Each structure stands twice: as structure tokens, then as C-alpha cells.
Structure 1
Amino acid sequence: MKEHDLVVIGGGPGGYVAAIRAAQLGLNVACIEKESALGGTCLRVGCIPSKAMLESSELFQMAKNHLAEHGVSINADSVKLDLPAMLKRKDGIVSQLTKGIDGLFRKNKITRYLGHGKIVAPGKVLVEGAQPEELVCKNIVIATGSKSAPLKGVEVDNDRIGTSTEALAFPEVPGTMVVIGAGVIGLELGCVWSRLGAKVIVLEYLDRILPGMDSEIATEAQKIFTKQGIEFRLGMKVTGAKVSGKKCVVTCEGAEPITADRVLLAVGRIPNTENLNLDGVHVAYDNRGRIQVDQHFQTTIPGIYAIGDVIGGAMLAHKAEEEGMAVAEGIVWGHCHVNYDAIPAIVYTHPEIASVGKTEDQLKEAGVPYKKGSFPYMANGRAKAIAASEGRAKVLAHAETDRVLGVHIIGAHAGDLIAEAALAIEFGASSEDIARTSHAHPTLAEIVKEAALAVDGRAIHF
């Protein structure tokens, strides 16, 4: 039996950050992770590998279709795809980063256990694996993340019909690929394989793509993706998907069956709370499997905490990281805080889509008086120079106080530009604060400044 001040169950973004921060604060910390590589779904089979594939596929498409406009003459027919090399690069990046977390654990003297963590009782955790261990501790943090949500009738075989894990490692470009779900994961991976040559059909139950994001921005995104060759079929209730020979057959209510080479199930994610013995130790969770926590991330049982995808809120790696920092500080200092209004969300398609704060839809529904400023990429010098004139930025500010309530961007490097908006919301800035701040010229950041100026009807360049 080994003793620790804190045992973290899960080595993903929330878990490893919580472990490192707690160790920085002087605690004797252990982290239990069942996978040999640290980093969780995000690093191993999610955020990082998908971004590597998005970058590689975008470069491939640019070489084939867009270099001529830059004065770079090549024979597009001679541009060849080396998919094994692309996948190897992706795997190499993942390997480097997972090893980097191992190094951070050693640097911070965190004890790592390989196996499945099960809570036996408050202050006691069993490591189930090749070398079982029983750990005694003062505090436990549950950071076991999430897994792909199933859909009734869809027979996942983890090959022809799979989740994002399989879609990041197809051995060949599918002729036709059906994506079930028009959320972030479905669109990002749909874009990857569309760029590489697949015919991509996206099926969505709702009448719009990107549920939860600003509807105006989502509508513009759909138009752009359609021009890129992705086919959207909205208002489609998928009733089944199965493998038939070497093909997949997808059925939808009131529509003809669709035959495809591959099917990606991307209808969201659900908390990964199985086999933690939550019922046995009386930790409360709701009917969706989300663990109930207070403002300090403590569950209904003192000394047991939970963060990340297993609790409520957006399932985002950086949200889990903020909670990891906060829970460690709360355990040591007795207080902590995360401002959920300042947590950005990004879709790494081309163009990128980024959002922070309230959407225009939410403000209308809540009856909050607001002003809106919008500025297009096409009116920005830098965007023109880099041939990225699609998209716009939108700033939403309170009609009476001018405080920034939300910022939504579709366009090149939107994921980087949104950081300024998140900082503005974190510090309670007004749109005037952004508008009066000097932004270097020529940069894409000027688009945000101009959108802030537009809130008061005084954009300069449009």
C-alpha cells in the first residue's frame, strides 16, 4: 500500500495538468492512466492528430489547386498523395508530445501508475492492471474524460464504420465517406478526407450545422464548405448503418439508403465514468453520466473531486486544463475559480471558426440588449495578401454598458485571433477598449479591431 496526498485518475489534459499544478504546490501526487501513453484522447487520438492531418491535407489541396495564384507554377497532376507518410508524420508528433508529458511528470516528481483506477472508498484507490496497487490518499481527482457517443442502429465495427479514432488512420482514401453529425469532429475529419479526394456526405439531425455555435456564423460556414465540395443533408434522422460486403449502408428516415466506403459516427461524446465504482462510494451523477460537483469541483463526497468531460459544460481540452489548475489550487488554497464565459471554442477547418462568450442566439433568447459589429476578411489587407478573404469577425457588446459579451470569427487563423477576445471578456473589457487598442498593420488582428469599431458604426475600412 502506497500513500500520496493526491491521486489523479486519468492522464489527459485535465488530469496531467491537475497533477503537475498540485506537485508545483508541494503535494505528493500520483496519476493513474490505463493507456501506456499519457495525454488522453486529446493528444493520442483526438485534438493533436486531427490537427496534424488537417494541416497536411490543407497543404496537399493547396499544392494541387491554389499555388498558381501565388505565382508558383507546378503541374497539379504531378502532385501525389503519400498517405502512409502523412500518417507517419501524425503519429510522430503524437509520440513526441506524449513523451514530453512523461518528462514533465519526472521533472515534477509525479508517480505514474499504469492501469485502471477504481475508487474503493474515500481516500483509497485500486490500480487494476498488470501490477495491481492499492493507494491511500487524502484527495482524489476524477479526470477520465469522455468517449464517442453511440447511436441506435449504427453498428460500429471500428473499421468500416468507426469513430474519430478510426477516421484518423484510414489506410486509404475512401471513395465515399458518410459523416453522421455536423459538429466539430464530423466537420474537421470530413474536411480532411474531402481534401484528400473522398466524396464526403454529412448527415445532420438538426436543420443546421455546428449546433451551439453562433447560427449566423454557422450558416456562412456551411456555404463555404459546400463550395469546397462537402455535401450536407440536414434534418436527417439516421436509423441505421451496417457493413454489407466491402461497403457500408446508411439508412435515414424518409430517404433512400446511402452506400459508402467508410462511415464516421460523430454525434458527440459522453462522460467516461464506467467502472470507477461511483455508486459504491455514493458519488452523485445525473442521467447523462455527468458527475455533480460544487464550485470547488468537489463531488457529493468530501475529498473526491471531478473535472473535465466527466462534469457539465463544454467538452474541450483547454476547459479541462483550466479546471485541472483550479482543482489543484482549490485543494491547497481552499479557493479557486474558472470563468466559463471566457472559454473559447474552435473548429479547425479551412477557414477556421472560433467563438467565445455568448452567441447572438443566446442573447436574443435571454432578452439581453446588445449591439453588433461585423467586419469582413475581404476588407483586410493582410487577408488579401495571403489569399484568405473568406469570412468575418463579429463582436457582440451590451447595448447599455458596451461590455463585450461574445466574439465570433470565421476566417483564417480565427483560432489565434479569438485569444484577444477571450482576454477582453476575462477582464470585462468594452468594445471601445478593443477599438481603441492599437493593432499592428498589416495583420489579421485588425479585423477584430474593425469589428469592435463597427459596434459603434465607425469601422474605417468597410
Structure 2
Amino acid sequence: MKKYDYDVLVIGSGPAGESAALNAAKHNKHAAVIEDRPMVGGGCTHKGTIPSKALRHAVKQLMRFNTGKLFREIGHSRQIPYPTALSAAAGVIEKQVEMRSKFYARNGIDLHLGTARFIDAHTVAVLQKDGSTEHLSGQDIVIATGSRPYRPQDVDFDHPRIYDSDTILDLKHTPRKILIYGAGVIGCEYASIFSGLSIKVELINSFDNLLAFLDDEISVALNYHLRDRGVMVRHREEYERVEATENGVILHLKSGKHLHGDALLWCNGRTGNTDALNLAAVGLEADERGQLQVDNHYQTSVPNLYAVGDVIGWPSLASAAYDQGRSAAAVSRGKEVTRFVDDVPTGIYTIPEISSVGRTERELTDARVPFEVGRAFFKDTARGQISGEDVGMLKILFCPETLRILGIHCFGAEATEIIHIGQAIMKQEGTGNTLRYFISTTFNYPTMAEAYRIAALNGINRLASY
């Protein structure tokens, strides 16, 4: 058998690549990671999840200060510049890089900095920053190159007033008004962030509703609270062209509207980072969004080549990417039964945040699956009243005959944390995944988790047989 430099060679050090390399190393496989940034962590650490959530946290703290009665006793409300709020992310990124660098060193994983390009199915050329090239070979290769914001050719992203979700983290001033084109997850999150800084926001959505994959009730609630914070949400609008000058940006819509702002944030989709890989050399071809097709074992059409994370598209979440990388590494070493990640919870870090798992009311109705609903409003919980986090609700969808939980949807403070309680119960087998668990379990009081008991009792009370 031919001797390769590595058993597993991973391209990309984001969540998917990191977990693939670590899983391989933990099972005594010689692994290496190629990263084209100067530091590990990938887009998640440097341009996506970590900086945007750190920014959100800083903004939320400011909002609590400006709206809290106690704080009014010690000072007037404050406004802080966008770059100041953003600076909170720098320390977190530094900690993440330091921690992840130690992972590689502790587990004997070699790190090669440079841009990878396939020579053949087992060999990669790495173009290093000094212009030199090294060749690395691997018995199996995992493509975990992530994604970047989609940029249509007719929009000038070199203009200093036009940004995407990567470059917005380099914004050096505080705009009075920002236009956000694209009301997906990223667009809605940044609409919350900028409105929290008292910046005027116009959010342009090309669909009928915000985040149509959410439960309708949650989507409506998000729409309401964005508007309540001053965000102008425009539905069913598409851009015709973008006009940018020294003084501002004009977004021309197909409906004939002309929207004016100091800056434009483009949040209309993402593209897989595959264009520099020379996929033709290994017989692979990405789709129009730069994404690769894989099977349920994360293998491409070339058996020893795997792809994980954003580069394969949905669900494009760091949480899923970690598990995908582990699964790919497990298949690589010969494990026959591995997990295909298709049941991840939704986590959206708007203000308030959103999380859900399972099916929505619309999905159940369209499938003609009978269900009942139990709700708990945070304003009715003692913890919500104490903390001032009284906006939002927990909603449980369940079968009226068996009480089996079909879906859980949460909107409000700590929704992405709260959802995991319900997720854990839904994953139980037999009769353990029913509403009865929440009724027969004593929750700490006062807690936000107590909302599960309240929602369960609310749902049970809707049934004539109880």
C-alpha cells in the first residue's frame, strides 16, 4: 500500500475541519489541517458566529442599561459607537484562537498555513504566504473550507459604503441609517444589532414573511418586535440596482421604490469556498453556489474525499459542522454506523433570540397530522418578571392521543439554551418523549425552564379527556 504523509488530511480549520482532525487523532490516526488564514478557527471564529454573537452580547448589555429602571437611578441612557461595541469581540476571538491552537498541539495534529489546491485525489499543493509551495498527501482528505457571503456581480463591494456579513465587521464608523438587503438569519440578526445601537434600519425581504422555515407564530412575533424596535421591514421586494456615492447608498427596488441609507449590508445568501481547490483535478464539480454533494456518510463521488460543514450547504450551522466532521472522520477509519446530521435545532440570535426543534404547525397541518398546542408566555413566569426578560414564549406541539412531542418553538431570552431541555426529551425512546415528562417533573423555581411545565399544563388543559 502506498505510504501517504497523513492518514487524514483536512482542508479548513473551522468547526467541521477541527472536529474531523481531532476525531481522527483521538483514534490514533496521523492527521493534519491546512488553513488559509494566519490563525486557526475558520470563518466561524474570525468572521461569523463568534464576532457577531460577541457584538450582539455587547449591544444587548447596552439595551438592558438603557431600559432598566435601576440603571436610570445612576445615570442617563447611553449610546456607543458601532466600532466600540465591535471591539468586545476582539478579546473573545483571541481566546478562541488560543484554545483551538492548543487542541492541535496537544493532539499531535500538524498545522499547515496556506491555500490548498488538489493535484490528485490523494495529493494537495499548499501555496504558502511566502510564495513557496509544499505538497502534502493523505489517504483520505476532508474538505471543510466553509463558505463566504454571496456577492452578485452587479453590486460594487469595493465601494466603502457597501458591505457583506464579513466586511461589516470592519466598519469603522456608526451610520445613521443602514439598509440591509436580505432578511434571512444573518440579515435579521444584524437588524437587531443595529437597531439596538439606535441606528435606523431598513430590512428588505424578498419573501412574504420573515424566516419562512420558522413556525408562523414565531415569524410573526419576530416581525413585530423588529418593528417595535424601529426596524422598517419591507416584504416582497427585490433589488434592481445599487447606486453608491460619497454621501450614501440608494437601493433601487423593482417595485419602483428608492431607499436611501448611509451604508448597505448585503445578506443575500452564501457561497461555498471551492473555487480555489482545483476540483477538476479530482473529478468533482461544485454547484452554482460552490457547494459539494455528499452521501449520508459525507463522502463525495470520489470515495476517499469527504466534505463537511458549510461547503455542503444545509444546515450551515457550526453546531452541525462539528458533528459532520466527527462523522466523516469515523467513516474514514472504517466505522460502518455513523450519524448523518439531519435533526439539529434552529438557533437564531436576534434580540430576542429564537430556537426550535421538530415540526411546525404548518408542516403538521399540511401533512394532516393531528396536534395540540401548549404555550407558556415568559411574562407569566416569575424568572421572566425578576430578570426583566419577559418578552417571548415557549410553545410545545404534541399528539393529542399519545402526548408525544412533535415540535418545540421558543422565542425570547435564552431560547437557544432552553430548547435543549425539550430536545433531550424528544430524543427519548418509548413513552419517554411525551408531555407527561414535563408534568411529572419538578423544576427549579424560579427558572425560565419552568416554562416547560406551564406549557405542558396549558396543553393538557386543552384536551377534553384530561
**TM class, shorter-chain normalised?**
over 0.9
Contact 2:324–2:341 at 8 Å: present in 1 too?
Answer: no
Deviation at 1:23, TM superposition (A): 0.6
Bigger drift between 410-419 and 156-165 goes to: 156-165
CA distance in 1, matches of 2:241, 2:452: 44
Structural mapping, 1:297-316, within 5 Å? 297-316=298-317
**Aligned equivalent of 1:75:** 75
> Over residues 88-118 of structure 1, what are the superposed CA-to-partner deviations in whole Å (9 max), with x where a residue is unaligned?
3211211221121111100111000111112
- Secondary structure, in 3 states, of the residue corresponding to 2:420? helix
Matched, 1:114 2:116: no
**Aligned equivalent of 2:410:** 409
Letter aligned with residue 241 of structure 1: V
CA distance in 2, matches of 1:20, 1:122: 22
**Aligned equivalent of 1:46:** 48
Q: 1:339 to 1:380 in 2, by over 3 A?
A: farther
Contact 2:79–2:198 at 8 Å: present in 1 too?
Answer: no
CA distance in 2, matches of 1:266, 1:213: 18
CA distance in 1, matches of 2:170, 2:288: 33
**Aligned equivalent of 2:178:** 177
Contact 2:298–2:328 at 8 Å: present in 1 too?
Answer: yes
Q: 1:300 to 1:401 in 2, by over 3 A?
A: farther
Q: 1:285 to 1:437 in 2, by over 3 A?
A: farther
CA distance in 1, matches of 2:277, 2:337: 25
- Secondary structure, in 3 states, of the residue corresponding to 2:139? strand
Give 5+ residue unaligned stretches, structure 1. Answer: none
Deviation at 1:171, TM superposition (A): 1.4
Contact 2:374–2:396 at 8 Å: present in 1 too?
Answer: yes
Contact 2:159–2:244 at 8 Å: present in 1 too?
Answer: no
Deviation at 1:365, TM superposition (A): 2.6
Contact 2:327–2:340 at 8 Å: present in 1 too?
Answer: no
Q: 1:51 to 1:284 in 2, by over 3 A?
A: same
**Aligned equivalent of 1:25:** 27
Give 5+ residue unaligned stretches, structure 2. Answer: none
Instruction: Give 1:37's match in structure 2, choosing from 22, 39, 46.
Output: 39
**Aligned equivalent of 1:186:** 187
Contact 1:153–1:239 at 8 Å: present in 2 too?
Answer: no
Q: 1:164 to 1:288 in 2, by over 3 A?
A: closer
Matched, 1:296 2:297: yes
> Over residues 120-164 of structure 1, what are the superposed CA-to-partner deviations in whole Å (9 max), with x where a residue is unaligned?
222212212234211121100011111112346433226311111
Q: 1:296 to 1:433 in 2, by over 3 A?
A: same
CA distance in 2, matches of 1:393, 1:158: 43
**Aligned equivalent of 1:142:** 143
Contact 1:393–1:408 at 8 Å: present in 2 too?
Answer: yes
CA distance in 2, matches of 1:153, 1:132: 35
Bigger drift between 337-346 and 262-271 goes to: 337-346
Deviation at 1:322, TM superposition (A): 0.8
Q: 1:324 to 1:453 in 2, by over 3 A?
A: farther
Contact 1:341–1:357 at 8 Å: present in 2 too?
Answer: no
Contact 2:117–2:125 at 8 Å: present in 1 too?
Answer: yes
Structural mapping, 1:361-372, within 5 Å? 361-372=362-373
Matched, 1:87 2:86: yes
Contact 2:355–2:411 at 8 Å: present in 1 too?
Answer: yes
CA distance in 2, matches of 1:60, 1:150: 32
- Alignment: residue pair count: 456
Q: Percent identity?
A: 30
Deviation at 1:26, TM superposition (A): 0.8
Deviation at 1:214, TM superposition (A): 1.6
Contact 1:200–1:230 at 8 Å: present in 2 too?
Answer: yes
CA distance in 2, matches of 1:152, 1:436: 58
CA distance in 1, matches of 2:340, 2:137: 33
Contact 2:20–2:329 at 8 Å: present in 1 too?
Answer: yes
Q: 1:41 to 1:243 in 2, by over 3 A?
A: same
Structural mapping, 1:260-299, within 5 Å? 260-283=261-284, 285-299=286-300
Letter aligned with residue 116 of structure 1: T
Contact 2:83–2:171 at 8 Å: present in 1 too?
Answer: no
**Aligned equivalent of 1:449:** 453
Letter aligned with residue 164 of structure 1: S
CA distance in 2, matches of 1:313, 1:338: 16
CA distance in 1, matches of 2:273, 2:458: 44
CA distance in 1, matches of 2:30, 2:306: 17
Bigger drift between 387-396 and 173-182 goes to: 387-396
Deviation at 1:287, TM superposition (A): 4.5
Contact 1:61–1:195 at 8 Å: present in 2 too?
Answer: yes
Scaled by the length of structure 1, the TM-score of the pair is 0.93
RMSD of aligned residue pairs (Cα, Å)? 2.1
CA distance in 1, matches of 2:371, 2:15: 35
> Over residues 344-399 of structure 1, what are the superposed CA-to-partner deviations in whole Å (9 max), with x where a residue is unaligned?
11111221111112222222233333222222111111111111221111112234
